[in-house]
Chains A and B, each alone.
Chain A
Amino acid sequence: MTTAALSSVPLSKAALFEAQAVKISARRNRLLSLPALLIIGIFGVLPLIIICVYSFLVAAPYGGVQWQFSTDAYLNFLFQRDIFDDTLQFTPDFLIIYLRSFLFAVVTTVICLLLGFPTAYFMATRPPAQRNWWVLLITIPFWSNLLVRTLAIMFIIRDEGLINNALIGLGVIDKPITMLYTNFAIQLGLLYAFLPFMVLPLYSSLEKLDFRLIEAAYDLYATRRQVLWRVIIPLSKPGIIAGCLLVFIPALGAYVTPLILGGGIHLMIGDLIAQQFGSGRNWPLGCAQALILMTAVLVALYFYVRNTSGKVQHG
């Protein structure tokens, strides 16, 4: 009896203590997550709410907003009010810029994937001691500002730039090829800016790949192409998904690159939105455009992730 009583006392004490510990740790967890919640709230949710509210207001003549409800900003996205008879007329200018931006972003993502995959594979198959050096090389562009690097591209591809001068000097051409301020220039700039964002996630998932699986596939009569499609790509899917998202989303909203290399002639969404807050003096329209972009990205993302994760499950 006494032993039972004795043993039950420390037991219940322990249980009590444990319960307390759980409570404390739960409280501590909440406390620890507070900074994250604050940051998300202040820098993520709050601006979004402001943008959302502003998009339903009326533009003030010299920038800013007038506190008066209106859906004009959204109407203006697709229509323009005729100055004379006040009717709405379909103007696809903005839509075209959006579609073009999507095209730019898709092409950027695809080319980055095609270039980035072999690069990442090469890095992941180096001896471990070498790999970190390769990662370092890939991250070198991050050491300087994107604006500076974009300006550098400008100097390389402009009419009197490095490429044209070299080609003329070699006698290949006698008139410079116009590359600056073209779609080509924007595409080149986007590729250059976002390639590392594709390579790094691809590398991190390829590095974890068990290369014995590749040997196993070769052993089971898979050709190199089959090994790639049946083993390497399915197993590096997380990296592919992450890389594509990291390239596609920022490429879609790119601002500096098209501004400098497109010369303000070939706009992308980012420049369009920036214009509304600058020379356009139409903050509600800018807000509406930003929200439409965000919605489009979210919808695209939803289908992309649903599709790819489904494929992973079916092998």
Chain B
Amino acid sequence: MGIAFENQLAAPQLPSRPAYGDNQTGTHLPERAGSLNGVIVPEQPGKNAIEVRGVRKVFGTGENQVAALDTVSVSIRENEFFTLLGPSGCGKTTLLRLIAGFDFPTAGEILLHGQDIAPLPPFKRPVNTVFQSYALFPHMTVAQNIGFGLEMLGKARAEIEARVAQMLKLVKMEALKARRTSEISGGQQQRVALARALAPQPKVLLLDEPLSALDYKLRKEMQIELKRLQHETGITFIFVTHDQEEALTMSDRIAVMSAGKILQVGTPRDIYDRPAERFVADFIGETNFLPGTVVSKQAGVATVKFASSATISAGYPEGFDPTGEVTLVVRPEHADLVPDPAKGTIAGTLANIVYFGTDTHYHVKLDGGGENFIVRHQNSRSSPVTYATGAKVGIQFEEDAARVLKD
């Protein structure tokens, strides 16, 4: 697909990793995506593009007060594809608007390259936005829209024209440059919005669910295009989505938000494999939750006892001290069925088998009760054992499969 990521080159230990564009077919994108983005961007202290420090944003007064952002702190590195992921109304747009300067924080500060940007109006911030609604100027052509930012910056006409031509080529809109923005399709409008925001070469590009209105195929194409653009331009992207799959496949790092708070920040693999809280685990991918009791702990690994008196070692989030009753999280693909119930860490009865083509989900009714435990099996021609509903089975965990959750 011609999308040679830098981090891909830096990761020779993963030679068979699929190229980005080939990664669009499976029903269980998460773990493959995790491996795609698995290489962690190295920490570069002092190289933060954006720093959000203790930002609160309260809308309304008196009884109608809504804390859209409740003391949010996060650092976004230069040249990073950073995603804000969370359900509707969790404050993603609000955070972008504060960074762009359309709203002001009730408390806290936002730094751009180490400088407080509170006194800067939107037109003085080297930050551009791709609006969820595109917000293209209807009284201008495609080319005029793209050139608007440069024109406002007072660039020379020749420079503007060259840059607009370059941008038109980048988003493959050369043929339609003289059209009114009302005379092009939704996907084309989206690309124009992108080109318009990219043309002034901002330090930071804010993208507010820019793909949400597109059909599946176009969205996939645009995801690739966006990733390519980010790679080619070296601009810091802050990308908003409530689509977990999109977040996992595209991001260098993800911040999972809920109800005005950032719950966890990490690489897609961090977020997926090592969720810190129940909300994060639940929001991203399918998850099993298991109750247990902490018996002992040592160096970030706790020994947890189940009701069946079987024990398992499970990692826990940094800075968290698990004691007593805890909840463990296990991803469906990190567990395996064994025909002999006695050989499993936990045991139960097969309640349901759901075939998905690429893989099969086994719903196990645990002996200790509670929610059904789901085990995901990748299908292959030579699946050794076939299971039948109603059979007694054991469940084995892969190493490091279980994690202790914070709540």
Contacts and interface: CB of A to CB of B under 8 A. Distances in A.
A212 B102 CA distance: 10
A88 interface: no
A220 B128 contact: yes
A215 interface: yes
A230 to B, nearest CB: 8
Contacts of B123: 218-223
Interface string A194-229: 000000000000000010110111111111001000
With most chain B CB atoms within 10 A of its CB, the pick from A221, A222, A312 is: A221
A222 B140 CA distance: 15
Contact of A315 (B144, B152, B200): B144
Interface stretch (B41-49, B77-85, B129-137, B325-333): B129-137
Nearest to A312: B139
Nearest to A233: B139
A41 interface: no
Given A220-B196, A234-B139, A226 B133 contact: no
Contact of B133 (A212, A217, A219): A212
Nearest to B135: A216
Interface in A209-261: 210, 212-213, 215-223, 226, 230-231, 234-235
Interface string A271-315: 000000000000000000000000000000000000000001001
Interface string B131-157: 101011111110010001100110000
Contacts of A219: 100, 102, 122-123, 127-129, 197
B121 interface: yes
Interface string B315-348: 0000000000000000000000000000000000
Contact of B148 (A212, A215, A217, A223): A217
A231 B137 contact: yes
A219 B197 CA distance: 9
Interface string B285-311: 000000000000000000000000000
A312 B140 CA distance: 9
B138 A235 contact: yes
Contacts of B101: 218
A232 to B, nearest CB: 11
Contact of B131 (A216, A221, A235, A315): A216
Nearest to A211: B135
B138 A220 contact: no
Contacts of A220: 123, 128, 148-149, 152, 196-197, 200
A223 B196 CA distance: 17
A221 B153 contact: yes
Given A210-B135, A234-B139, A222 B144 contact: no
A315 B140 contact: yes
Contacts of B138: 213, 235
Given A219-B100, A220-B128, A235 B149 contact: no
Contact of A215 (B127, B135, B139, B140): B135
Contacts of A234: 139
A222 to B, nearest CB: 5
Contact of B152 (A212, A226, A235, A312): A226
B137 A216 contact: yes
A291 B133 CA distance: 51
Interface string B142-179: 00100011001100000000000000000000000000
Nearest to A231: B137
A213 B137 contact: yes
Contacts of B136: 216
Interface string B224-248: 0000000000000000000000000
Contact of A221 (B140, B141, B149): B149
Given A220-B149, A221-B152, A315 B129 contact: no
A211 to B, nearest CB: 10
Closest 4 CB pairs of A and B: A220-B149, A216-B135, A218-B122, A221-B152
Given A213-B138, A223-B123, 20 more contacts: A212-B131, A213-B135, A215-B100, A215-B131, A216-B135, A216-B136, A216-B137, A218-B101, A219-B102, A219-B128, A220-B128, A220-B197, A221-B153, A223-B152, A226-B152, A235-B138, A312-B139, A315-B140, A315-B141, A315-B144
